[in-house]
Amino acid sequence: MSQTISGARFIAETLKGYGVTHVFFVEAILRRALMEMETLGIRRVLTHSEKAAAYMADGYARAARRPGVCMAQSVGAANLASGLQEPFLGHAPVVALTGRAALTAQQRHAYQEIRHAPLFAAVTKSSAPVTTADQLPRLLRQAFRDATTGAPGPAHLDLLGHQGQAIESAQVDAVPIPESAYARIPPHRPAPEPEAVRQTARALVAAERPVIVAGGGVTASGAGAEVVALAERRQIPVATSLNGKATLIETHPLNVGVVGRYSRWCANRVVAEADLVCYIGSRTGELVTNGWTVPRPGTPVIQIDIDPAELGRSYPNVAGLCGDARAALQMLLAELPARSASSWTTRAREYAAAWRLECYPLRNSDAVPIRPERLCREVSAWLPSNAILVADTGYAAIWSGTMIYLTHPDQRYLRCAGSLGWAFPGSLGAKCGAPDRPVVCFTGDGGFWYHLGELETARRCGIATVTIVNNNAALGQCVGPIRKMYGGRPGRPEEMCGFSEVNFARIAEDLGCVGIRVERPDEIAPALREASAADRPAVVDVVTDANCPAPEPWTP
């Protein structure tokens, strides 16, 4: 039986029905719907920029494993679209709602109005205009389906009225019917063809030097236990992408670390020497393959992916499984006999041990300014057993991906897909999505500057995260290349990558947060303990050495 309710109430009840607990927005958009959301217990997080709102929805979606919602009026739609690049590339289920000019104002230079469709086409799985109220029930349900099915990603609805007011003030002759399957990821677990599973099993059994590369699809599927079971049954070394870093704990004997460009050399060596590489939930992109050099072209490859278009995209497959990672691995395990450790397993362990030994002096350095490796060692030792670590790109990704050790199976690692500045707002969204877990942001000063104003959002909304700033007063990843380019030429290379020296702890305190400045290695551990004990957002500002380059990736 249908009933007539306002579009505002319909939107609010639908979001509540899909389990949405927070929405992230910049005023002014869907004001009536936001008022209705308050009555339903949905938290409204007002941000300082549309891009930050998208990043928070992204972090929320990844941490909660359910759709995150962000919203902006017509004027801010372009800014929101730019923020959707992250969940699009990172495969996070985000539903974005924007307003657009009234029909009578279109095609006649309405104030600050541009075409939205081209902006969202590049960064969403689907984008649709909502022009009449009777379209809303169908299109809103479809947005949640699109965001969660297959490889997750953003879906966008463009609501009539620059604040969406034409839709929310109209009457909807329908009862909200949320589809519970699409309130989480994955909503379905499609299984591969049995014969393809048998073919994949034969290829694995025949290989003498196989290696597994676990990607973000393993995380999205919740297939970490199955990856570990496969590795242990066949004694196969496991490398991971950054997004798959938490698949194995650091101390697992088959873990060789993160592979590719932001990597450990031991992982690249193992993948390069393998006679079969089994990619699970990885798109074999540029970063995880170090520019498609690891593994070498021509290396036999197996891929397991939910998207059939990814099978063989960069490396021709000797076997491919199209399906959910967990479902595929469960079928594959049923076909595989156990295998004892081999000389190949021993070699992989020796590489990993040599890498850790090589890093030992740097991770234990007492140098001042502080070395990033020492900072990572202290974070590893302190990180709570159920923490979610949220890392920025660039050096923050390299340092955290290679040097922060995850030693508990309940620890998670979320890393942005490439937009510097994502981590801090992303961590705020993650805390909203997982309020009972400690959430730690690891970023540099270059990344923290992007959305520094969201400290006020965190304090106002009571989002108590711990943010660790690797503060070297520079874009650290750029220092070496720029100096090399200058050579002995006179000039001021620091103008291209250097910042003023700023005390972020003092800024945090001025904004009502906890701020702790760290200048010596022995101050790191007590600062982290103090920050984690606070009942407010905390910033640990660590002064580090800009002259400490991250290691270059090993290349064949």
In tens, the pLDDT along 334-355 reads: 999 999 999 999 999 999 999 9
Measure the CA–CA gap between 327 and 17, rounded to whole angstroms.
27
The residue written with tokens 């990704």 in the block is: 397
Reply yes or no on whether the pLDDT at 190 is more than 60.
yes
Looking at domain 4-183, its CATH architecture is 3-Layer(aba) Sandwich (3.40)
Grouping H, G, I as helix, E, B as strand and the rest as coil, residue 408 is: coil
Reply yes or no on whether the pLDDT at 233 is more than 90.
yes
User: Is the Cβ–Cβ distance between 432 and 22 less than 8 Å?
Assistant: yes
Three-class SS of 99-137: EECCHHHCCCCCCCCCCCHHHHHCCCCEEEEECCHHHHH
Reply yes or no on whether the pLDDT at 69 is more than 70.
yes
Q: How confident is the model at residue 540 (pLDDT cuts 50, 70, 90)?
A: very high
Distance set, CA 97 to CA 39, 54, 549 (Å): 20, 10, 41
Intrachain domains 4-183 and 194-348 with the same fold: yes
Q: What count of other Cβ atoms lies within 10 Å of the Cβ of residue 330? A: 17
Segment 254-260 shows an average pLDDT of: 98
Check residue 458 and give its pLDDT.
Answer: 98
Check residue 488 and give its pLDDT.
Answer: 86
Query: What DSSP state is assigned to residue 554?
Result: P
Reply yes or no on whether the pLDDT at 41 is more than 60.
yes
Measure the CA–CA gap between 441 and 464, rounded to whole angstroms.
11
Q: How confident is the model at residue 159 (pLDDT cuts 50, 70, 90)?
A: very high
Reply yes or no on whether the pLDDT at 118 is more than 70.
yes
Check residue 108 and give its pLDDT.
Answer: 84
Instruction: Write out the H or E segment, with its range, that includes residue 365.
Output: none
Reply yes or no on whether the pLDDT at 27 is more than 90.
yes
Q: Provide, rounded to the nearest whole percent, the portion of the chain with pLDDT above 90.
A: 95
- For 60, the token pair is 């929320």
Average per-residue pLDDT for the chain: 97
Could you tell me the strand order of the sheet in which 210-214 lies? 255-258, 238-240, 210-214, 276-280, 301-305, 317-322
Check residue 107 and give its pLDDT.
Answer: 81
Fold of the domain spanning 364-543: Rossmann fold (3.40.50)
Query: What DSSP state is assigned to residue 296?
Result: P
Measure the CA–CA gap between 405 and 479, rounded to whole angstroms.
26
**φ and ψ of 106, to 5 deg:** -75, 150
Check residue 106 and give its pLDDT.
Answer: 80
Measure the CA–CA gap between 183 and 189, rounded to whole angstroms.
14
The span from the first CA to the last CA of the chain, in angstroms, equals 66
Q: How confident is the model at residue 3 (pLDDT cuts 50, 70, 90)?
A: confident
Segment 390-397 shows an average pLDDT of: 97
Query: What DSSP state is assigned to residue 546?
Result: T
Q: Report the residue count for the chain.
A: 556
Q: Provide, rounded to the nearest whole percent, the portion of the chain with pLDDT above 70.
A: 100
Check residue 104 and give its pLDDT.
Answer: 81
What is the 3-state composition of the chain as percent helix, strand, coil, each rounded to the nearest 5? 45, 20, 40
Domains of the chain: which residue ranges? 4-183, 194-348, 364-543
Check residue 194 and give its pLDDT.
Answer: 98
How far out from the chain centre does Cα 240 lie? 14
Measure the CA–CA gap between 339 and 329, rounded to whole angstroms.
17
Q: How confident is the model at residue 2 (pLDDT cuts 50, 70, 90)?
A: low
Helix axis angle, 476-486 relative to 395-403, nearest 10°?
Answer: 120
User: Is the Cβ–Cβ distance between 433 and 67 less than 8 Å?
Assistant: no
The DSSP bridge partners found for residue 173 are 4
Q: Which CATH superfamily is domain 194-348 in?
A: TPP-binding domain (3.40.50.1220)
Check residue 105 and give its pLDDT.
Answer: 80
